[in-house]
Amino acid sequence: TDNGTGDYSVNFTTAMSDANYSAIGSGGDGGNGVRSIGATTYTTSLFRFPVRNPDNGLADPVFTNVTIFS
């Protein structure tokens, strides 16, 4: 889900058994603009994360990759 500029959520079709999972991610713009992904919310039904540009401002990347480990 796109919640606004640089603010995204991954919604789980099947809820996790608990919120003790790990999520990692990366993003970019196809050039030098590597984006950093953090986490703001871990729940059993979603993982919400901001995407930041090299200047630490929120930004919409061209691509984003997120991996969830439970």
In this model, does residue 16 exceed pLDDT 90? yes
Question: How far is residue 25's CA from residue 51's CA, in Å, rounded to a whole number?
Answer: 9
Query: In this predicted model, what pLDDT tens digit does every residue of 35-53 receive, in sequence order?
Result: 778 888 999 999 999 998 8
- pLDDT of amino acid 44: 97
**What is the average pLDDT value for the chain, to the nearest integer?**
89
Single pTM value for the model: 0.84
Do 51 and 61 meet the contact criterion of CB atoms below 8 Å apart? yes
| Residues paired with 51 in a beta bridge | 37
